[in-house]
Amino acid sequence: CIAALCRAFDLPFYFVCKPVPRWLRQNPAGNYARALALGAELVPLKPDDYRRCIADPEWRADLLKDVAGVSEVAWVPQGAA
């Protein structure tokens, strides 16, 4: 999983996603639980913002720079890893 790779290289991992259901936040399971255990930081976005993040590379770059506090970030689309 990407979270394990980031941890192995001491890199932060920000997971941009749609809002996580309350039941899953309260009882993490599967890849979600593993990513959290490995230090992934969730960046839940409203559905419209999430769609914009996917579609608009400039908007996404600004968002990720604000969240990560760095000028250079890598973007891996959902399902590409």
pLDDT digits (tens, 9 = 90+) for 14-42: 888 889 999 999 999 998 899 999 999 98
Q: Which residues pair with 43 in a beta bridge?
A: 16
Enumerate residues 6+ apart whose C-beta is below 8 A from 53.
16, 45, 59, 60, 63
pTM, 2 dp:
0.74
User: Which two three-digit tokens encode residue 54?
Assistant: 């996917």
CA distance 63 to 68: 9
Q: What is the tens place of the pLDDT at every residue in 33-73?
A: 999 999 999 889 999 999 999 899 899 888 888 887 776 77
